Amino acid sequence: MSFRLFSISSMYQGSLDSFYNNHPIVRNLSYKEHLDILIEDTTEFVGSYIRNFRKLAIEAECLIANDFQLQSKWAVEKGLKRDKKEEIILEQVKSYAPDILLIENLSVVSPGLLKNIRQEVKSVRIIIANHCAPFNYKVLESLKDVDFVFTCTPGLKSAIEELGKKSYLVYHGFDTEILKRINSVSALPKNDFVFSGSLISGGDFHSQRIRLIERILHENIPIDLYVNLENNFRIRAKQAIYLFSSFLQKIRMEKLFNSYQFLLYGKTWVDSYSDTLLKHKKPPVFGIDMFNLFMNSRVVLNFHIGIAGDYAGNMRMFEVTGVGSCLLTDNKKNMSDLFIPGSEVVVYDNDEDCIHKINWLLDHDDERKSIAIAGQQKTLAYHTVANRCSSIVDIINNELKNSGKI
């Protein structure tokens, strides 16, 4: 069964900046030409999934809600005088007239927009959300207007179902096209031990991750950090929010936590980054540069975001194993559903165990290589974006059939 799918998506700002630095010519192209180049170039979720849906003969298109240059170009070409972001999104959905609307990032839409789409775009039969991030009031309100949700861990699936919303577990995957684009001869240096990603404190984000990396640095273990850090102003603001949140608790106004997303940062105290971490940090890398970094690293550290809880499933697991590097990741209840610990990836239970495993891997290169090879074989056999897209198409077709919306 075929259908037209339209995705409301977003990209990391660093990825967008990198794209425009590398492709200045797109500024002179039409919206469609511009978007096509971006989708073919990007290694992010939106590009990988759109490309693979099309390989399955699904008519699939998307918009990048936080690419304001691209969105403005669409509005100008259509003679749309209104410049509000959500009005442009609504008009794009109307123009494409999809059967299936996939909201890849709930933070870029409002409940009001989803209600308007329901009312004004009669072609839309199902609205789906993909959500693998912390909850806030806006997300919870938006979930009410979707038919069901794809999520990336069993824990999040249960949490969404507790909210009364149907949910399907679809793990992230590795886009095998990446292997045709990465290059063993990279401008980035070869590394023994690497962490690449964000270190954002507060809420259900990366506080425990920061603590572990600070501990690794304290143990004088060489680690190359390609990281996105917050500036001092934001950290001081979060510290102020914590003090304000503590005051709200004292006067029994905790209900405000569900109404204002910024108060999530006030659940715990936020420390400033240590001088040691700041000394070791390197600029973050995105896209193919990131995959080249992983491929040229002996061991890559992974640590799930706080909202993941007891369950594994972030994208980094499949990105690292997909390019054939050795993954060292935090142990979770469902790890054996994804990889064989000790044979295909290496897992750690706590900070002490992590430090022990790092030293062991760097001292036992033959065993490390064997684990890396086995991990890549597992990912390429089972954890690909192509496999995930096939599962998503099956789920959508079953939903259409069971709901009588064929």
Q: Give the range of the structural domain holding residue 153, as residue numbers without chain letter.
A: 4-173+385-403
Among 63-77, 129-143, 280-294, 378-392, name the one with the lowest average pLDDT.
129-143
Do 327 and 269 have their domain in common? yes
* 282 vs 339: CA distance, rounded Å: 30
Both tokens of 128, joined, read 């789906």
Do 372 and 389 have their domain in common? no
The whole-chain average pLDDT of the chain stands at: 89
Do 124 and 200 have their domain in common? no
Between 184 and 210, name the one with better pLDDT: 210
Q: Pick from 199, 221, 222: which is nearest to 211 by CA? A: 199
Among 121-135, 256-270, 320-334, 347-361, name the one with the lowest average pLDDT.
256-270
Chain length of the chain: 406
Domain with 19 in it: what CATH number?
Answer: 3.40.50
For the chain, the domain total comes to 2
CA geometry: angle at 252 spanning 248 and 254, to 5°? 65
The predicted pLDDT at position 20 comes to 95
- The DSSP symbol for 325 reads P
Among 66-80, 257-271, 294-308, 346-360, name the one with the lowest average pLDDT.
257-271
Do 378 and 394 have their domain in common? no
The predicted pLDDT at position 248 comes to 59
Q: What is the dihedral of CA 202, 204, 210, 211, to 10 degrees?
A: 100
**How far from each other are the two terminal CA atoms of the chain, in whole angstroms?**
9
Do 145 and 223 have their domain in common? no
Among 5-9, 205-209, 285-289, 395-399, name the one with the lowest average pLDDT.
205-209
Q: What is the mean pLDDT of residues 196-206?
A: 72
Do 127 and 202 have their domain in common? no
Between 396 and 405, name the one with better pLDDT: 396
pLDDT for 241 beyond 90: no
Do 255 and 359 have their domain in common? yes
- Tell me, yes or no, if the pTM score tops 0.85: yes
Do 49 and 189 have their domain in common? no
Do 99 and 138 have their domain in common? yes
pLDDT for 260 beyond 60: no
Q: What is the dihedral of CA 37, 43, 49, 54, to 10 degrees?
A: 40
Do 225 and 256 have their domain in common? yes
Q: Are 203 and 264 in contact (CB under 8 A)?
A: yes
Antiparallel, parallel or unpaired: β 148-151 and 126-130? parallel
Domain with 240 in it: what CATH number?
Answer: 3.40.50.2000
The predicted pLDDT at position 188 comes to 67
Do 228 and 168 have their domain in common? no
- The DSSP symbol for 62 reads E
Handedness of CA 168, 350, 211, 16 (dihedral sign): negative
Both tokens of 273, joined, read 């980054």
Grouping H, G, I as helix, E, B as strand and the rest as coil, residue 11 is coil
* 182 vs 289: CA distance, rounded Å: 8
Q: Side chain identity at 8, as an amino acid letter?
A: I
Grouping H, G, I as helix, E, B as strand and the rest as coil, residue 286 is coil
* 365 vs 216: CA distance, rounded Å: 20
| Gyration radius of the chain's alpha carbons | 22
Both tokens of 198, joined, read 């964000």
Do 42 and 66 have their domain in common? yes
